[in-house]
Amino acid sequence: MNKEEFSFSTCWNIKRHTSGREMIMEIKQLGFSQVELNYHVTKEMLASILPMVESEEIQISSVHHVFPFYDDKEFDPDSVMLGFENEVKRKKAVRLLKETIDHAVQLGAKGVVVHPGEVPFSYNIDKTLKEIYQSKGRNSVEYQQLWSEMIKKREHESKFYVKRIQESLEEVCEYIARKQYNVGIGLETRSRCYQIPTLLEANQMISKLKGAPVYLWYDIGHAMMMDRMGLYDNLQDLKLVKDKILGVHIHETIELSDHWCPYIHSQSQTFDSFINIIQAAPIKVYELKSVCTPLEIDKSHKIIREKMINCT
């Protein structure tokens, strides 16, 4: 089954490896010639991957910020990141993204996947909401009360974080232009309800940075989860940004559990809504969890390819 136009994320097998080369070879055995390097790839792993890129054994479609792995919770992918109010921290976040972009260009990647920020809460309110969702349902009094608390704070504060994220992106885009880099930034749809961006927030930032290499990175599974939780209308809002997509993360959700193989684990046809989006995306990346087997991955890809052919 042809997989040439697709890439595959190292999030699937990174915990099984200490050698970057061995990790890439396992993905190549699945039939993929393109790889996305996720944010757990270390400098040591990168040292053995770079020669594979230089010898054209593998192509790197994209890298996931912060890259390579940066062991600091304050600047990890689940942080305020580019939206820090503290100017010293915001400047550091900008520097880290510039360094990720440098690595991406060195590796020949065309995209950098970015988690731009969040509206911070004193605790992980998303986790609590998901627990209530699973045990009592979205329509329960408990869920609706806590959701109301979350959305009130999120809607009040998000504009300040979005503004700072946008300022940070402007600085980074100036750096890309100055370096004459051919690489795009993809703002990823997130998996926690207090994280930025929603599809509308992404559309706002991209529109205000018109002409800059900033796009949407449409994580299909994450967007499905946020729709189910009530953060936005995924398919409706997607219409506004479908022409601004740099890349997609392809995976399926079961309720609020993500990174499963589309059509295989959920046994649902709801994923059909995203086939045209996958078809049109410049960068197409499978982002699957480690329990997905090579056989399941191959079956899932076969279904997606057949559906893509039938929709053309």
pLDDT at position 312: 65
Amino acid letter for position 265: H
Q: Give the predicted TM-score (pTM) of the model.
A: 0.97
34 SS3 class: strand
pLDDT of residue 33 exceeding 90, the answer is yes
- What kind and span of H or E run contains 217? strand 214-219
pLDDT at residue 1 above 80?
no
What is the model's pLDDT at position 267? 75
What the chain holds in terms of domains, given with CATH numbers, is 6-310 (3.20.20.150)
Q: Which of 248, 250, 262 is nearest to 300 (CA)?
A: 262
User: What percent of the chain shows pLDDT beyond 90?
Assistant: 96
Mean residue pLDDT of the chain comes to 97
From the list 304, 299, 306, the residue with the least C-alpha distance to 30 is 299
Share of the chain above pLDDT 70, in %: 99
What pLDDT, on the 0 to 100 scale, is given for residue 52? 98
State pLDDT tens for residues 251-266: 999 999 999 999 998 8
pLDDT average, residue stretch 117-145: 98
Please confirm whether the linkage preceding 197 is cis (ω < 30° from 0): yes
Cβ atoms of 269 and 306 closer than 8 Å: no
pLDDT in tens, 167-210: 999 999 999 999 999 999 999 999 999 999 999 999 999 999 99
pLDDT given for residue 221 in this prediction: 97
Per-residue pLDDT band at 268 (split at 50, 70, 90): confident
249 pLDDT tier (thresholds 50, 70, 90):
very high
Contact 120, 150 (CB under 8 A): no
pLDDT(91) > 80: yes
